[in-house]
Amino acid sequence: MGYDIHITRGGHWWDDRAPEITTAQGAAAVEADTEPEMIPQPAGGNGPQHWAARVITHPPEDRLGTALRRDCGTVSAKNPTGMLLATMRQSALTLNARVQGDDGRYHDA
């Protein structure tokens, strides 16, 4: 289990009628930030096309909480680190969106 944080343009991250964040928009917002490094979807992935951005940390970490994914019109992270949450807040500003947790609580800057 875990706690997901979402960047959404809707009143609630689960609102499928909200304007979606496209792959190109999400990637552009992340690329504008100097912290994350883009990681493409693995070859042979069977889900919807999405991208991931992994926050570069020192020492390097490969765990939940350091990566973003785009799916169903939102950008999300599971158990984000403080560094990733800061990145999400910055990206949300660029995307004219908000940062919201699974429980509906906002995590805006």
Tens digit of pLDDT per residue, the chain (109 long)? 688 999 999 889 998 899 999 888 888 888 888 777 777 666 665 555 567 777 776 556 666 567 888 878 889 988 888 888 888 998 999 999 999 999 999 998 6
Nearest to 34 by CA among 90, 98, 92: 90
- Counting Cα atoms < 13 Å in the Cβ hemisphere of 62 gives 1
CA-to-CA distance for 81 and 84, rounded, in angstroms?
A: 5
CA-to-CA distance for 65 and 94, rounded, in angstroms?
A: 21
Question: What pLDDT is recorded for position 7?
Answer: 94
Question: What pLDDT is recorded for position 1?
Answer: 66
End-to-end CA distance of the chain: 26
CA-to-CA distance for 87 and 104, rounded, in angstroms?
A: 19
Question: What pLDDT is recorded for position 58?
Answer: 56
Q: Are 76 and 5 in contact (CB under 8 A)?
A: yes
Question: What pLDDT is recorded for position 16?
Answer: 86
pTM: 0.82
